[in-house]
Amino acid sequence: MKPRLFPACCVCLPLLAACDSKPAKETPSPSTKAARISDTPLLPVKAGDSWIYQVKLGIPAGVSSAGAAEVSTEHLRTRTYLGKISAAEGLPETDCFEVKVPGSPREREFVEIHDDRILMRGSLILRPETTRPMWLDRPVPFVIAGMRPGTSLPELKAGDGSLTRQTRVIARENITVPAGAFSCIRLLTTGNDGDLELRRTIWFAPGTGIVREEKTRYRREQLVFREIQELTGLKRTP
């Protein structure tokens, strides 16, 4: 589903496209109803709005190749809302963000933004050889207004079960990043891609978007990748 605002949530797209799980229905409590009202609109956007993140990437020594040195780098990631466009011929127009990282191909993330929920649709890396996006015929929920600690989305599996994802709400909490202080929904996604264990924590601030994200990957309990991004600035179109 890479999201990357929703980065990288679309990393899971091939997995999610193969799943038929549907969110379980629940009867909202008065407190949940109040939270839904206070959370909406989840992400008001205008074409040209940009989110700027400071990204720290770390890879332990010996992971990329035998004897390779430890990698520790920092760079900026910019996510700009383009409006509603089609990912490819024959696909519907959906909300689109373009992600830019120095030295890397641009990427487009396709989502559906509603007042009370954001759904993931797909992603496309803008390379000459890329002709079709990763695409979900049935959108997958990313965040829903009123989500409270303990809320879980159904576990998603693909193939022989070696690809899995499980997302749940860990907390509603206040955090501070370079761009300021925000009231957030903290989401944790865990799962596996074969022998690779994934763990991704997102702090989503209703009305603002993703303000912090931590991603780690492990192989046989050994850390092979860690990335942390924090919001440093948000430029709104007048």
Q: What is the predicted pLDDT for the residue at 46?
A: 98
Contact 1, 12 (CB under 8 A): yes
Determine the distance from the C-alpha atom of residue 27 to the mean position of all C-alpha atoms in its chain, rounded to a whole number. 27
What is the reported pLDDT for 138? Answer: 86
**Which residues are registered as beta bridge partners of 196?**
193, 219
Which H helix or E strand runs over 30? helix 30-39
Per-run averaged pLDDT (10 residues), the chain, 238 residues? 38 38 51 84 98 96 83 96 96 98 95 96 90 87 94 79 88 98 97 91 98 95 94 97
All domains of the chain, ordered by start, with CATH?
7-235 (2.40.360)
Q: What is the pTM of this model?
A: 0.85
How high is the pLDDT of residue 27?
53
The pLDDT of residue 29 is 67
Which amino acid, one-letter code, is at 115? D
